[in-house]
Amino acid sequence: MSPTPDFGPLISADELAPEHRLIDIRWSLADPKGGRKAYEAGHIPGAVFVDLEDDITGERGAGRHPLPTREQFERAMRRAGVNASDRVVIYDDGGGSVAGRAWWVLRLHGHRNAAVLDGGLQGWSGELETGNVRPPEGDFVASDPDRAMYLDFDEVASRDASDVLIDVRAPERYSGETEPVDPIAGHVPSAKNAFWQGNLGEDGKYMSPPDLRRRYEALGVKEGNAIVYCGSGVNACQAAIAIERAGLGPVRVYAGSWSDWSSHAGRPVATGRESGG
């Protein structure tokens, strides 16, 4: 895994600079196509829209949001105007729960200078721009994915006993009380629950590093032993940022997450709220 870069994983609205390549990646499970409409109605000036499902989700692979191929991701970033030398800033309007995925996939493919806008669009106090921004094509080159950054089904099933597996979904989904999307309710056995929204303060921004460190150390996280998953591998990346901010990285992501685990015949499933954070 590459050394930690000197840019990111978070940036404040006050730190935004004209030279940053801004990406708007608003998306919601309730309205997957609503992000583009919201972008066209008003976005941070200069921001380019990137679609979570069309641009950075693969057609084949594990879970509901498979990882994109190297070639697919490279094309998407070039269309967004990303150059190899750019510092990329990604934002959403959901506490980093979608922007974190784009940040993580950029790192996965070798672009280390990427950050999520802390507080998202709600943290921006300036004027908004309407319509579409179409930048010149960038020269971004995606490297082969860093295989140390993610795990597949078999690797999660055979994980080391010292690893701490964290389910970042809402408590009622973790416990199996409800499951609105995937075929089976519950969680991966021995996983601990730490809802991704718990990484944020009342202002919608990430909590301080000491507060995040206390949160995750209470779950048994030590430097480098955390594996995070969610429903499809998107929200888990928001938690990866939190754990890195806490000084407890690097973090591995179960790429297919619960949508992958629950699709395997004969896989063990646990229910109940035995762990939380």
Residues in the chain: 277
Q: Which residues contact 54 (CB under 8 A, 6 or more apart)?
A: none
Peptide bond into 9 cis (omega under 30): yes
C-alpha–C-alpha distance, residues 9 and 16, integer Å: 13
Give the position of tokens 């202002």: 203
228 phi/psi in degrees, rounded to 5 = -115, 145
Q: CA of 145: how far to CAs of 1, 50, 158, 209, in Å?
A: 11, 20, 22, 28
**Choice among 22, 230, 237, 251 that is catalytic:** 230
Catalytic residue flag (residue 230):
yes
Reduced to 3 states (helix: H, G, I; strand: E, B; else coil), residue 95 is: coil
Angle at which helix 99-108 crosses helix 236-245, to 10 degrees, equals 70
Could you give the 3-state DSSP secondary structure of residue 267? coil
The Cα-based distances of 73 to 121, 145, 259 in angstroms read 24, 11, 22
Asked if 212 and 185 touch (Cβ cutoff 8 Å), the reply is: no
Annotated catalytic residues are: 230
